[in-house]
Amino acid sequence: MATDDEPKRWYSAAHRVLEELGLVSLYNSTTDVKILCTQRFIRLFAYGSSTLVLVAYLRELGISQTQIGLFMTLTLAGDIVISFLLALFADGVGRRAVLALGAILMVGSGLVFATFGNYWILLAAAIFGVISPGGNEIGPFRGLEESIIAHVTNPERRSDVYAWYSLFGTAGAAFGILTCGWVTHYMRVSLHMDVVDVYRRVFYGYAALGLAKLVAAIVLSSAVEIHHEPQPVPAADDNEETPLIPDTNHQQNVNQAPPKKQLRARISRESVPIVVCLCALFALDSFASGLAPLSWITYYFKSHYHIEEGKLGSIFLCHEYHCRCIYDRGILSREALWKRPDNGLHTPSVCHLLGSHSNPR
């Protein structure tokens, strides 16, 4: 009898480990969630690869450091405006359409950077397209994807899925930097290609990854969209005051009344202080990160220590994996630790509070 129970105990223990790691939640998630995780991996892979060579490429084109700094500032400013507008009308236009449009902008930016060398053309492509100056999230993608995950995932599983969604991005950025570094090194050393041509090949690859992301956005199902179901008017009591011919036009107008769009988010009054606090933490962390973006750090290592791209990719693979895994270690800590303010998690991990805060348990 003991031997019959042994496999059950092993199965139960393995299932418990997978449950604690959130893999059960990820496995049981919808196909759309898995596609979104794949999209995030592809996108961050592209961001990581372009970040390694962005400043070096602009310097090879003869652009000054001051102009590069202005380039990055205006790129982020343009991203704020475009991302806000796309996210504002995403539910009306369609979430899949907005994700596809963002992927098209990503493809366009990659092709422009791979083709042109004029500073103002590149600046316009960066402002109106999708180019990440620091290897971080840029564009309307993350906000839409996280809202879709919240829409199609059960609340009790949501925090696990968010953690793995974030980890997919970490892996994509890390392996994007590593792949770009060694491919660039191979083209320069083994194929003896010109450095500018090598960097342009990287942006052709960036455009190809944007095309792959476009395909992933198109294959999402209609379940990711918000369907505003009309609320019928309650039936009136059958009494003497009930008209013999109901006012169907009035009822139809009430049923088909579209929801009003508001710039202000629909959140409860009790949640406002929490949201303000989280926004302040995000702003402070982003300000500190903006003082030393990854693209400038990689250029500093390359120009000051004369480190080749392959070794740079390996170095910053470890950097990305170590720093972002501090951010993503909520996978192991789960909801109980996320809700504690003294757990020492990296500042951006407060985003997981948004997922776990809605948990009814």
Q: What is the SS3 assignment for the chain? A: CHHHHHHHHHHHHHHHHHHHHCHHHHHCCCHHHHHHHHHHHHHHHHHHHHHHHHHHHHHHCCCCHHHHHHHHHHHHHHHHHHHHHHHHCHHHHCHHHHHHHHHHHHHHHHHHHHHCCCHHHHHHHHHHCCCCCCCCCCCCHHHHHHHHHHHHCCHHHHHHHHHHHHHHHHHHHHHHHHHHHHHHHHHHHCCCCCHHHHHHHHHHHHHHHHHHHHHHHHCCCHHHCCCCCCCCCCCCCCCCCCCCCCCHHHHHHHHCCCCCCCCCCCCCHHHHHHHHHHHHHHHHHHHHHHHCCHHHHHHHHHHHHCCCHHHHHHHHHHHHHHHHHHHHCHHHHHHHHHCCCCCCCCHHHHHHHHHHHCCCC
Whether the per-residue pLDDT at 207 is higher than 80: the answer is yes
pLDDT, residue 209, reads 96
Query: 20-64 pLDDT, tens per residue?
Result: 888 888 988 999 999 999 999 999 999 999 999 999 999 999 999
Token representation of residue 297: 């750090």
Query: 281-307 pLDDT, tens per residue?
Result: 988 888 887 788 888 888 888 888 888
State the CB neighbour count (10 A cutoff) for residue 65. Answer: 12
Nearest to 329 by CA among 187, 167, 186: 167
User: Per-residue pLDDT averaged across 338-346, rounded?
Assistant: 43
Name the least confident of 8-17, 102-111, 260-269, 312-321.
Answer: 260-269
pLDDT, residue 319, reads 64
Query: 188-204 pLDDT, tens per residue?
Result: 999 999 999 999 999 99
Whether the per-residue pLDDT at 312 is higher than 50: the answer is yes
- Rounded to two decimals, what is the model's pTM? 0.77
Nearest to 39 by CA among 82, 111, 98: 98
Asked whether the beta carbons of 152 and 30 are under 8 A apart, the reply is: yes
Output the furthest CA–CA distance in the chain (Å, rounded).
93
Pairwise CA distance, residues 301 & 309, whole Å = 10
pLDDT, residue 246, reads 53
Most confident residue range from 86-95, 232-241, 268-277: 268-277
Asked whether the beta carbons of 22 and 160 are under 8 A apart, the reply is: yes
Q: Which domains does the chain have, with CATH numbers?
A: 18-221+269-357 (1.20.1250.20)
Whether the per-residue pLDDT at 337 is higher than 50: the answer is no
User: Per-residue pLDDT averaged across 66-91, rounded?
Assistant: 87
Burial 18-51 (b: 16+ CB within 10 A, else e): eeebbebbbeebbebbebbbebbbbbbbbbbbbb
Average pLDDT over all residues of the chain? 80
